[in-house]
Chains A and B, each alone.
Chain A
Amino acid sequence: DAKTTQPPSMDCAEGRAANLPCNHSTISGNEYVYWYRQIHSQGPQYIIHGLKNNETNEMASLIITEDRKSSTLILPHATLRDTAVYYCIVRARGDSGYALNFGKGTSLLVTP
């Protein structure tokens, strides 16, 4: 799996958009970008994944740069319940049966 780099922490005001960056400059052509989050002591939760096109679901949007070397997870209207550690993981689609390698992630604090 390609290595990812994320800022260790970020703050966001409640109701504002939270933009979480991830650098994956060594990503291969067959590798997807996955985002998970872990709210304190709970099991990690899948958020979204994408290959090269931007993706959106009910939780978030994923913007992947054209060269695919970086991406941004966007929580459009952050709430206090979005306070969590967010993990950006790069993995080949064919490896979806294999374990996820979690790094340190970004600790997002949403403040009132």
Chain B
Amino acid sequence: DSGVTQTPKHLITATGQRVTLRCSPRSGDLSVYWYQQSLDQGLQFLIQYYNGEERAKGNILERFSAQQFPDLHSELNLSSLELGDSALYFCASSVGGQGSSTFFGPGTRLTVL
């Protein structure tokens, strides 16, 4: 158990819909990262938040957005869903300081039908 929790574990929805994925970082970790892993694809970094502020953006689509709340949990919002958005979405957290390692949650499996 990494200490990072994600809900829901599985999500099935239809094209055009909007969903929200939730992540709670490890206690004390200020940085939250979101990654996407499509079938047979590598882990793609989407976005990072540090203590409530957006810190870095990766390959995140404009239809996707995220935020980090004062209690440090984070949500990833995916809208106008397409079939190609079906993937595993991982959240990770780290202290954000020097020498820290990054711990990943178990992921949310999103299926868009």
Which residues of A pack against B, CB within 8 Å? 34, 38, 41-46, 49, 93-94, 96-105
**Cross-chain contact A45 with B104 (CB below 8 angstroms):** yes
Smallest distance from the beta carbon of A107 to chain B beta carbons, Å? 12
Could you tell me if B43 and A49 are in contact, using CB atoms closer than 8 angstroms? no
Which chain B residues numbered 58 to 107 have a C-beta less than 8 Å away from chain A? 58, 88, 90, 92, 94-107
Q: Are A96 and B101 in contact (CB under 8 A)?
A: yes
Tell whether, in the assembled complex, residue B2 and residue A45 are in contact, meaning their CB atoms are under 8 Å apart.
yes
Q: Which residues of B contact A (CB under 8 A)?
A: 2, 4, 31, 33, 35, 42-43, 45, 48, 50, 55-56, 58, 88, 90, 92, 94-107, 109
Chain A residues contacting B45 (CB-CB under 8 Å) are 99-101
Residues of B within 8 A of A49 (CB): 101
Q: Could you give 26 example pairs across A and B, Cβ below 8 Å?
A: A34-B101, A38-B43, A41-B88, A41-B107, A43-B105, A43-B106, A44-B43, A45-B104, A46-B102, A46-B103, A93-B99, A94-B98, A96-B94, A96-B99, A96-B100, A96-B102, A97-B95, A97-B97, A97-B100, A98-B48, A99-B33, A99-B45, A100-B45, A100-B102, A104-B42, A105-B42
B97 touches A43 (CB 8 A): no
